[in-house]
Chains A and B, each alone.
Chain A
Amino acid sequence: MAISREEICIKVRETLVDALGVDDDEVTDEATLMGDLGAESIDFLDIVFRLEKAFGIKIPREELFPPENLLNDAHYVENGKLTAEGLTKLKAQMPHVDFTEFSRDPDLNKLPDLFRVKSICDYIDSNVNAA
């Protein structure tokens, strides 16, 4: 059953308000999950639990949020930046995220900026409405 993009975004926003205790108006499309909304490891789990329930799908945590095992692996990270190998692996794990800008300077400190409310809506959209 197809759900409209708008309905998806409404549900995603509600989920984030419940999980992160933030106000409605803080959850804009462009808001970064870690920077603007203060989400952390335990919150990622909370958000995944709730989204799975709300949309009736299974969500592997590493598809939606920064993969901690990848970031802690010396193969994929060098001098605070992702190696080419690391970048490839990350892109494969999270096809719904646009890494173009990030690829030019894959500084780990910039990674959190990629995770925005919009990327969750995109992920749910592509999963729920997959043909």
Chain B
Amino acid sequence: MRWIWIDKFVEFESGKRAAAIKNVSLAEEHLHDHFPGYPVMPQSLMIEAMAQTSGILVGEARHFQEKVILAKITKAVFHALARPGDQLRLEAEIENLTEEAAAINGTIRCGEKVIGEISLMFSHIDKNLAGMEFPEENFVFNEQFMSLLQFYLEDPESSVQSS
């Protein structure tokens, strides 16, 4: 299983908001345990999809200089399940961004329906978590995540809002 929970960006307004897509497919192994005979996308992974969408948005707003780590799930509420064949749209908006932390609000839609609402806070860990050991280089924004944004920015069909 690859730890990447969004498939592509479809909107990106630097410093403000972003939207990404996640397709749910029977080809994803973990679905077959959750649950056997009735696969649904685990809510925890929907939270991760939102964290990745908004984490890249927050990271990009500060030119990927910070290591942006999920610090708090203020609230995550789910109204319906996501099933194989569904295409989820994750929309994230920056509520607050400072040197130390960021707060975002997000919505997950399946078609017209809002199936989840998530509020998260990220910490910029070089400024916090004193005394804890972690690598010097920005291990958060590795090639995998950066390529998601790269694909979006290079796609002639996407509407790019410059920073």
Spell out A's residues near B (CB within 8 Å): 18-19, 21, 41-43, 45-46, 49
The smallest beta-carbon distance between B102 and chain A, in angstroms, is 9
Q: Are A49 and B74 in contact (CB under 8 A)?
A: no
A21 to B74, CA, bound (A): 7
Q: Are B100 and A46 in contact (CB under 8 A)?
A: no
A18 to B95, CA, bound (A): 14
Provide the residues of chain B in CB contact with A18, threshold 8 Å.
74-75
Interface size class of B (residues with CB under 8 A): 10 to 19
A41 to B103, CA, bound (A): 14
Q: Which of B78-106 contact A (CB under 8 A)?
A: 95-96, 98, 100-101, 103
The smallest beta-carbon distance between B119 and chain A, in angstroms, is 9
Provide the residues of chain A in CB contact with B75, threshold 8 Å.
18, 21
Smallest CB gap from B122: residue in A? A42
Q: Are A49 and B72 in contact (CB under 8 A)?
A: no
The smallest beta-carbon distance between A118 and chain B, in angstroms, is 24
A21 to B76, CA, bound (A): 11
A21 to B98, CA, bound (A): 23
Enumerate 15 A-B pairs (CB-CB under 8 Å) in ascending A order.
A18-B74, A18-B75, A21-B74, A21-B75, A42-B71, A42-B101, A42-B121, A42-B123, A42-B128, A45-B98, A45-B101, A45-B103, A46-B72, A46-B74, A49-B95
Smallest CB gap from A40: residue in B? B72
Additional A-B contact list (9), CB under 8 Å, known A18-B75, A21-B75, A42-B72: A19-B74, A21-B74, A42-B121, A45-B98, A45-B100, A45-B121, A46-B72, A46-B74, A46-B103
Provide the residues of chain B in CB contact with A49, threshold 8 Å.
95-96, 103
Provide the residues of chain A in CB contact with B96, threshold 8 Å.
49
Provide the residues of chain B in CB contact with A41, threshold 8 Å.
128
Given contacts A49-B96, A49-B103, is CB(A43)–CB(B128) below 8 Å? no
Provide the residues of chain B in CB contact with A43, threshold 8 Å.
72
Provide the residues of chain B in CB contact with A21, threshold 8 Å.
74-75
The smallest beta-carbon distance between B125 and chain A, in angstroms, is 11
Provide the residues of chain A in CB contact with B74, threshold 8 Å.
18-19, 21, 46
Provide the residues of chain A in CB contact with B72, threshold 8 Å.
42-43, 46
The smallest beta-carbon distance between A78 and chain B, in angstroms, is 20
A42 to B119, CA, bound (A): 14
A131 to B74, CA, bound (A): 35
A19 to B75, CA, bound (A): 9
A19 to B103, CA, bound (A): 11
